[in-house]
Amino acid sequence: MFQPEYERRLLQGCVEESREQLDLRCIPTRAGNQWARNFALATGSSSENSAYACLLRNEFLDTKITSLDQCKQSTNVQAQTGDFKVREETRVYGFANGGLSPLRTPFANISECSQRLLSISKRPTRRFPRLPFKILDAPELQNDFYLNLIDWSSESSLVVGLGCSAYLWSAVSGQVTRLCDFSQEDNLVTAVSWHGGGRQVAIGTLSGHVSIWDAEKQKELNRLDGHLGRVTALAWRGNSLASGSRDRSILERDFRCPPTHITRCLRGHKHEVCGLQWSPNQRYLASGGNDNRLLVWTENWPEPIYAFVQHKAVVKALAWSPHKSGLLASGGGTADRCLRFWNVLNGKPVQCIDTGAQISNLAWARDSAELVTTHGQALPQVIVWRYPSLKQVVRLSGHTQRVLYLAVSPDSESIVTGGADETLRFWTVFSKQKPPKAPSSVLNLYQCIR
């Protein structure tokens, strides 16, 4: 009864012995297969535009794909034109001259384009709230493109200029307080800006003077004179305050000094100055004006070191990158609509994109390579961009009229926008990156001692 099993094992042993002696391998021949055509025309795959699919195209079809967008374009072009090529080293060879050629591994010498593809990290998808998480009424918020009427302090207090008064709104308690009221007729608030410490706030007026107020005590500390026209832009550098005016000048003053004391007077614009921003290292001052010019100033020098004239409309929106030294972004008005980037270390333009609408403000994210712009006229929206690709991350709509004012929260996650519809809208636009965890080591002197 065990004879069949014995014979089966004996026969199997003979076959295995014969294989070892002959050293035969079963390698199918695929010489007639059209790998390129079948791969490019394959449908129904949910991951045909994935990084892996692009990697296969590089190695098998001899393409030069370095991004997912190029992968999709390459697929469409090859399918329409029928232009298929297969790399010689990826073919599988059969018998030749009575022997076996070595099997070539496709990824033994991976191309440079494929290495770049492999280095692309997949970005986690983010969900953006399409609606503002808070809306506040702002009666008498002026519909004036040149003004700067809201600012957010490091102590989570928002200052807003409404008509002839300045109001404070606490993001912690939600309490609204009227800080000051200029009783003079037609003496409107035209610009506001918090000191870095979050206690003093500067308020520019239509008459040309700047008032410095203690927000906690609600007391005026100083009143700075010197401008002959309304003050529309303010920028702090320590205890020094730079102010831009319709009289085309920029005055730099220490608010602790007497009102008539002027540290520097900068004259370079031919029309009203409506944008001022100090760089993060406080070495450069960028100014934009109604003369369509963007000027860059440096300390201890009376003339601008750069004068950029590429914008075709008023330049109000200015912001320095917190990630790359010397990188400045600027936005143009209705006749320009361009978002431009500049390298002030060498004085050359970096990038430019037409946004399709008037740019009233812009701000960089502190913890990510993104920036936000606000727009007016044809497109009253808030747009978040990814830098340096300048791809739009999200568009936020809500204002019924043009968006004129912008301020960023202290944690750099939320923004508040003010529009000509006399509303303040609060949005969550930026993501906060978690700091990397320090690796545990016995050599770390700051580890908790148990």
Task: Summarize pLDDT for 302-328 with one digit per residue, the tens.
Answer: 899 999 999 999 999 999 999 999 999
Locate the domains of the chain by residue range: 32-118, 134-428
Tokens linked to 199:
């206690």
Tokens linked to 207:
């008459």
Question: Taking residues 401-407, what's their average pLDDT?
Answer: 97
CATH number for the region 134-428 comes to 2.130.10.10
Question: Taking residues 75-100, what's their average pLDDT?
Answer: 47
Cis-peptide, bond into residue 322, ω within 30° of zero: no
Q: What is the pLDDT of residue 76?
A: 56
Q: What is the pLDDT of residue 122?
A: 54
The dihedrals phi and psi of 60, each to the nearest 5 degrees, come to -100, -35
Evaluate if pTM is beyond 0.75: no
Please report, for the chain, how many H helices and E strands are present, in that order. Answer: 5, 30
The dihedrals phi and psi of 166, each to the nearest 5 degrees, come to -120, 130
**DSSP 8-state secondary structure symbol assigned to residue 439:** P
Residue spans of beta strands (DSSP E) within 219-325: 219-224, 231-237, 240-245, 249-254, 264-267, 273-278, 284-289, 294-298, 306-308, 315-320
Task: Summarize pLDDT for 163-181 with one digit per residue, the tens.
Answer: 999 999 999 999 999 999 9
Whether residue 194 contacts residue 153, with contact meaning beta carbons closer than 8 Å, is answered with yes
Question: Taking residues 352-356, what's their average pLDDT?
Answer: 96
Whether residue 211 contacts residue 205, with contact meaning beta carbons closer than 8 Å, is answered with yes
- Mean pLDDT of the chain, nearest integer: 82
Question: Taking residues 24-31, what's their average pLDDT?
Answer: 57
Looking at this protein, which amino acid is placed at residue 402? R
Q: What is the pLDDT of residue 106?
A: 47
**DSSP 8-state secondary structure symbol assigned to residue 187:** -
**Is residue 372's pLDDT more than 90?**
yes
Q: What is the pLDDT of residue 40?
A: 52
